[in-house]
Structure formats: structure tokens, C-alpha cells
Structure 1
Amino acid sequence: MLLVGFAAFCAYLLRNGISAANTTIQQELHLDDEQMGKILAAFGTAYFICQVPGGLLGKVLGSRIGFTIVTAGCAIGNLWSTLVSSLSSLWIARFTMGIFQAGLTPISARIIKVWMPIKSRGMSSAVIAASMSIGSVVTVAFTGALLEEGMSWQTIFVGFSIVSFIWCVVFLWYFRNKPDSHPGIGNKELSLIQTGRDPNQTSDNFNWQQLLDVLKTPGLTGLCVQSFFRAAGYIFFVTWFFAFLEYKYGIDKKQAGLLTSLPLMAVVIGSLTGGYLVDFLYRRTGSRNISRSATAFITLLFSGLFTLGSAWPDSATGLSVMIAIGALFSGAGSPAAWAATVDVGDRNAEVAMGVMNMAGSLSGIVLPWLLGSWFKEIRQSDGDWNQIIYLHAAFYFCAAFCWLFVKPDKVVAT
């Protein structure tokens, strides 16, 4: 899982560097907030379109080749973005990154399904979710600090791509699609991995009936809708929160980077805590409804409350600390969503994850563009920046409500 976690780290290193470089790129390419919103939405558009195809890529080619392709492709798209000189060329580069990175989550779900025992899916999901946020923490903190020191955003982005290429070489050499194909896995480990499930439950063959089966899954609608709202909360941190702090409080890029990293680091802590909690509750109760749905509902409810409370502090630090506490609870609910989707997807876990993450990625299309337009209006009219916080809190409340309709004890009929 460390290799998979580092893939997630690399992906978000590439994906979210633009958040810290947002206003710098705007100045260099002469873009306004609304135009930048369209560029940020380009990634989300491709990410949305290619979620299910990304899952199928891992199913058809296998996780080893599929994962390598999506990581290398995203790194190449990131390199392309350093060569652009206009809105349209940057939009295409970001769109290309989204095409490839769309396969990350569904292929990760496949690896969890094949490699991890049922009782460890919560923590496995937490490692991946935490790694994503660690990548985001590193990219916003380092990019902000390096930009403040005078380094160009292009040089920073090239460095991030190099890290991803190195990972591709290591993963391709070491990883195997199935545990019984890996020379380092013995009979004891294989027995542990297969505990509680049919050893033939994961099929490498795809047919369209599998997708239809996934779409008929009880509870998948609730998982998809919660994914949209939960992802919308996170999308704010990795697109416009850095600029939000710059605009509202007039702070420099180094401080904005450090404060933006607070909620992202909180997501890491929350994800790991949530992963432990999901597995602990499942071992104690034997109920996926309790360990998945109840955990997600409660954590997202608290996330909404703390996020709403972040509108009252007067300082950038105070707001960031409160919103980070909300992000911690949001992160604690993330492993429950991953584990529940793997559960209900059963043999077609990667396809189910693709559908769920596809719904979540819709927020990556809508929110960056919406916030870009809204930021432009607030700056022009000297409006109330707390409107953004109220919307952010509403996302978490809506996500919590959706979990009332998710029953992960029911799986796809295959």
C-alpha cells in the first residue's frame, strides 16, 4: 500500500500545484479570476469524463500497467503546462492531466480489492486518502514558499513531474497485479488476504453488464451524491482557498501556503483516524452500515458545524484553524466512503469506484468556475467573503444527509 499511497501523493503534487501558483499564473498570462476558474475546471471536466474509462483501463490492462500509464500521462501533461503562453493552451494541458489522473482512484480501488483483506479496507483506503492530502500539503506549502523566494512556477512544476516519473519506474519494476504473482508474498500472507471472501471474486474480464450491475447497486445513488458534496468541500482547498486568503486578508504567498496546508494536513490526520475507526467498528459490530454509514454521517455533520464556525474569527489564522478542524472531520469520513464503495461494488469494485468518483468529480467542473466568477464579483463589489464559507459548510451538511440512504451491507448482484 505504500507504493499506491505514494502514487496518490504524486498525483496530488501534480494536480494542486496550480492552487498556490494561481495568482502568479494569472499575472503572467494576464487572466482574471473568471478565466482562471475555467482553467481549474478543465482538469475536473476531463477527470469527470474519464472516471469509468479509467476503471476499465485497470480492469483490461491490469493495475500494474494501468497505474503506470495514468501516472506518467499526468506528469507529461504537467510538463506541458509549463510551456504554455495562453488561456487555451493551459486549458488543454490541464484537461490532459485530468484525462490520465481519472484512473487513479478506480485502479486504487481494484488494488485494495485484490490485495487487502476485508477487515483492513478502511485503513487501506485511509492511507490512500491521506497520501493525496499529504501531496496537497507539500505542493501548496512548497510552491508558496518557493514562489515567494523568486523561483518560477514552471521550474517547480518540472520538479514535481520528475518525482512522478521516478515512481513509475519503481512501481513497474516491483508491483504485481495479484498477490500470488509476487515473489515476496508467502502462503501465510495469501491466506490472510483471502480471509472472508471468494478467491475468484475479482475478474479481469469486462463486459457492459458489469457496468449495468454497478448502476443498479442499492445505495450507489447516495454514495454518488455524497461524493459530489464531499468533494466540493475539498475542491475549495485545492483550487481557490490559497487565493481566498490572499484576497480577503492581503497576506503574502508564503503565509497563504502555510495556512492553506492546515486544512489539508487535517484531512491527512482525519483520514488515518477514520480508517482506524472504520476497521475498529467493523471488527466490533460486524456491521458495514455502522462502520461505514454511521461514521460518515457523524463526521460530516461535525465538519459542517466547524466550517460554519470559521466565518466568525477575524484573522486568517483563526479562520484557517477552524476550517482545518472541519476538514479533519471531513477527512475522517473519507475512508468510510471508499470502503463502502468497494463493499457494494463487490467483483466490480473498480467500476463502482469510478462511478462514485465520477459523481464527485462533477464538483471539480462546477465549483472552480463558480468560485472564479464569484471571486471576481466580490472583489469588484467589495462584497462579503463569508458567503464562500457558508456555501462550503452547506456542502458538508448535504453530504452527511446522503449517508442516511447508503446501506453498504447490500452488494451488487454478480
Structure 2
Amino acid sequence: MPISPEPVQATRIRYVVLAWICAAAIVVYIQRTAMGVAATRIRGDLGLSEVDMGWVMSGFFWAYGLSQIPMGCVGQFWGSRRGLVVSMLIASSLCSLVGFSWGFSSILVFWMGAGIATAGVFPSCMQSISAWFPRSRLALPSGLLGSAMSVGAAISATLTGILLSLHDRFAADADSVLMPWLGAALSWRGVFILYGLPGLLWAIAFGLWFRNRPAQHPQVNAAELELIVSDQDPINPQREQGAPIPWSQLFLGSQMLLLSGQQMFRSAGYAFFGTWFPTYLQKVHDVSIGWSGFLTSIPLMGVIFGGTLAGWLADWIFNKTGSRRLSRQWLGGGGQLVCALTVIAAWYANDLVITVPLIALGSIVMAFGGCCSYSVIVENARPHVAPAYGMMNMMGNIGAAVSPVGAGFIAKWYGWEPVLLMYAAFYFLSFCCWVGINPDKKLFTE
């Protein structure tokens, strides 16, 4: 009796792809977060006012947000490989050029240019996930990509502070033989030059190794290819890259509007941690600047954990039930509702020992919305994943840019305590958008 051959194990090149795009997210967020940490040094060195510095930081986010759709379209037309490589090369080069700025105009142009180039990274990342993962395993890579963004921000905030502190230490030691070159390397200029280098190396290595489709990659065996494409929609790669953008559905489609709305409101709430949360802690709970910085890091760590947990949980629910309603809409929307309730509870408690853990819990479940909305885009936007993600992310950046202004007005008129209620309202509005999202419905019709 002949012995049947053992089945060939599928290779795992898709997870190497995931590691590459998560590394891109970390690098990009290290670069973009450094400006806020180094702002005081930059102002002093270039002679900028607080208003000037505000324009520089705001300029990046407006350039980044408004470039999402155009750069997403470029990513679809070029393909993920070229889109990611070119975006990362330009963004990283401009990040390094920030270190050579000589005044307000130069740093504004360099930093806004970096924002435009960075806008091309994540639409192409989502397009890569769409091509390289089966639909039954989309949530985990989407969640890990979101977590990688927060990891990069946390690394940048810590590392930039350490490097600038070391600069101060060596600057105080005027007799040190290391000071002439080490001081320059650890200045804010050296930091930006340094942070651009990993992106350049990433772009070169990624461009040599990556392929847009699993079938094009020599290290992917037949078993892995079958695993990936078995439950994907059959779309011709050439047709996908050249497909005309359905502009009316992109801007006015009901599902796109709801997905963009949940992203806008959720990002408006998330912006609290990067803007006013330390000030809220100082004003309402009378904590020191240093302690407020540490307490702010706790919800940010919650976002990292929440994104990873959401990815695993969403895939587990989907594979157990086969329901996208449960694994996308209920999980993502339910997270926003629970987050709103925890923020309201934190406001009501008005006790630091209770407030911070409640807000940290809220940040964990809030991250469910990011993972689930990315999964809906990846599953239902083909062949226009990149511009659809660009549309959603553009609205998210608008929400993040506008919400700190609203918080400032509320604090001015009513004090800092009611500010929490505004952010709770943002999460509740995000939940309301999720109520209308149908994760079983295609975003674009032919």
C-alpha cells in the first residue's frame, strides 16, 4: 500500500511582511513624535516664538491629513512596494534635513514635506495587509500595525528626551574631549539627522525584498499561497493598480462616511493623551510636571496592549462565529461605548487613584475601534484599499487637529474638570457611527 506524502507546511513569509510594515510604523512615529519633545530646544536655537513653533507642528498634521487621499491614490496606482519605498525615502530624507534648518521658513517646509510623504506610508501598509493575509486573519495584523504606531511614539518620547538630556550633560562638561562631536550628535539637530537614517535603510532593504503579491515572492511556497488566497476576493493585480477611483462613493458613500466619522471622533478623543492630559492632571489633581508625564504614559501603554488584544480577539470571534457583525461592528463599537462610560466614571470619581486606571481601561477598549475599522477597510474596500484608508485617516487627523482647540475653550470658560466630558462625548459619537456600519457590505460597487 503506497504511503501518502506528508502535507507540505506553509511558509510564513506573510508574517515577515507584517514585521516589515510594523517596523515602518515604528520608524515613522519615532520621526514624527520627536518634534514635540525637542520643540523647546528648536525654538531657542532658531529664535522661534511659541506661535511659530505651533505653526510648524500644526503644519505637519495638516499636510499629513490632507495628503492622505492623494497619496493613497498614488499607492494604489504604483503598488505597495514602490509607494512605501518612495514615501519612506522622501519622509526620512526630509526628517534628516530638519536637522539642517536655519530658520522658520526652512523648518516649516521640511516638516510639512515630511508630513506629505508620511501620508503615503499607511495606505500602502493597509494595501499590503489586504494582499498578504487571508480574510479570516486580517484583524491581528491590523491591530499590530496600530500598536506599532504607539510603540514608535513611546520610543521617540523616551529616546529623544534621553538624547537631549545627554547633550545637556556633555555641554556642562566643557573640558570633555568628547564634547565637540558628541555634543553636536546629541543636539536636536543630531537627533533629527539620526532618526532619518533607519527609514532610509528600511526603504532600501524593503524595496529589494518585498513583492506586492505573495505569488510574486520566491520564498512563498504553494501551501502558503493557497492559504492566503483561499478566501480572498479574486481581483486581478493589474486591474487593481489601474482601477479608476470611484470618487463619489469615496466621499459620499454611506459606509465610507460612517467609517470616516468613527475615525474622526475616536481620533479627537485619542488626541487628549498627546495634548491636554498632562495639563489636566496638573490643574485638576495637582500633580507635578514629571509625574503627569509618567501618568500620561499609562493610557498610551493601554493603547498598545488594546490594539494587539483587539486583533487577536476579533480574529478569534470571527473564526468561531463567522460573524463580521460581532467581530467588527460589535467589538469596535462596543469598545467606544465602554470607553465613553469609563471616562464619565473618571470624571465623576474625581480621584487620581481612580481616574487614571479608569482612563487607562478606556484606552484599551478604545483601541478596539482602530483595529476593527482597519479590518473593515481591508476586507471591503478592494480594489481601493489605499485611497479608502486615506479618506478615513484624513478625517481622523482633522478630528485630532480640531479637538485640542475645543478643549482649550472649555477649560477657559468652565475650568478643566468638564474637559473629560467633551472627550467622553467624542467616544460616544464614535459609537453612534459604529451602529450604522455594516461590515458585510462592500464599500464600492462597480
- In the superposition, the TM-score normalised over structure 2's length comes to 0.82
Task: Name the counterpart of 2:308.
Answer: 272
Instruction: Summarize deviations over 1:148-207 as a string: whole Å, max 9, x none.
Output: 443533333332222222221221121111111111101000000111233325534335
Task: Name the counterpart of 1:196.
Answer: 231
- The CA deviation at 1:50 is 1.1
- The CA deviation at 1:402 is 0.9
Select the residue among 288, 297, 300 that pairs with 2:324: 288
Q: Does 1:15 align with 2:28?
A: no
Instruction: Summarize deviations over 1:85-123 as a string: whole Å, max 9, x none.
Output: 544443333311210111122111210111110011100
- The CA deviation at 1:299 is 0.6
Task: Name the counterpart of 2:427.
Answer: 396
Task: Name the counterpart of 1:169.
Answer: 204
1:102 partner letter:
A
Q: Secondary structure at the match of 1:386?
A: coil
Count of residue pairs brought into register by the alignment: 406
Contact kept, 8 Å, 1:304 with 1:394, in 2: the verdict is yes
Task: Name the counterpart of 2:63.
Answer: 46
Query: Aligned ranges for residues 14-413 of structure 1 at < 5 Å?
Result: 14-26=31-43, 29-32=47-50, 35-149=52-166, 150=168, 152-200=187-235, 202=237, 203-215=239-251, 217-241=253-277, 251-252=288-289, 255=291, 257-311=293-347, 312-313=349-350, 315=352, 320-367=356-403, 374=409, 378=412, 384-411=415-442, 412-413=444-445
CA distance in 2 between counterparts of 1:157 and 1:288 reads 43
Q: Secondary structure at the match of 2:246?
A: helix
CA distance in 1 between counterparts of 2:371 and 2:221 reads 28
The verdict on how the C-alpha distance between 1:243 and 1:80 changes in structure 2, with shifts beyond 3 A counting, is farther
Contact kept, 8 Å, 2:99 with 2:191, in 1: the verdict is no
Contact kept, 8 Å, 2:98 with 2:193, in 1: the verdict is no
Q: Which has the higher contact order (CA 8 A, sep 6+)?
A: 1
The verdict on how the C-alpha distance between 1:143 and 1:179 changes in structure 2, with shifts beyond 3 A counting, is same
- The CA deviation at 1:260 is 3.3
CA distance in 1 between counterparts of 2:276 and 2:107 reads 17
The verdict on how the C-alpha distance between 1:62 and 1:346 changes in structure 2, with shifts beyond 3 A counting, is closer
Task: Name the counterpart of 2:5.
Answer: none
Q: Which moved more, 1:136-145 or 1:387-396?
A: 387-396
2:125 partner letter:
S
The verdict on how the C-alpha distance between 1:161 and 1:367 changes in structure 2, with shifts beyond 3 A counting, is farther
- The CA deviation at 1:30 is 4.5
CA distance in 2 between counterparts of 1:245 and 1:25 reads 26
CA distance in 2 between counterparts of 1:403 and 1:168 reads 36
- The CA deviation at 1:294 is 0.8
Task: Name the counterpart of 2:6.
Answer: none
Instruction: Summarize deviations over 1:284-328 as a string: whole Å, max 9, x none.
Output: 22221221111111111121222344445555x865444322211
Percent pairwise identity: 28
CA distance in 2 between counterparts of 1:240 and 1:15 reads 18
- In the superposition, the TM-score normalised over structure 1's length comes to 0.88
- The CA deviation at 1:405 is 0.9
Instruction: Summarize deviations over 1:119-154 as a string: whole Å, max 9, x none.
Output: 111001011101111101111122234444435333
Contact kept, 8 Å, 2:91 with 2:118, in 1: the verdict is yes
Q: Secondary structure at the match of 1:236?
A: helix
The verdict on how the C-alpha distance between 1:97 and 1:369 changes in structure 2, with shifts beyond 3 A counting, is farther
CA distance in 1 between counterparts of 2:76 and 2:302 reads 33
Task: Name the counterpart of 2:175.
Answer: none
Q: Which moved more, 1:73-82 or 1:275-284?
A: 73-82
Q: Which moved more, 1:37-46 or 1:397-406?
A: 37-46
Q: Which moved more, 1:206-215 or 1:340-349?
A: 206-215
CA distance in 2 between counterparts of 1:390 and 1:25 reads 34
CA distance in 1 between counterparts of 2:147 and 2:201 reads 21
Give the number of the structure whose alpha-carbon radius of gyration is greater. 2
Instruction: Summarize deviations over 1:56-110 as a string: whole Å, max 9, x none.
Output: 2222222111101111222222223333354444333331121011112211121
1:362 partner letter:
I
The verdict on how the C-alpha distance between 1:69 and 1:374 changes in structure 2, with shifts beyond 3 A counting, is farther
- The CA deviation at 1:25 is 4.2
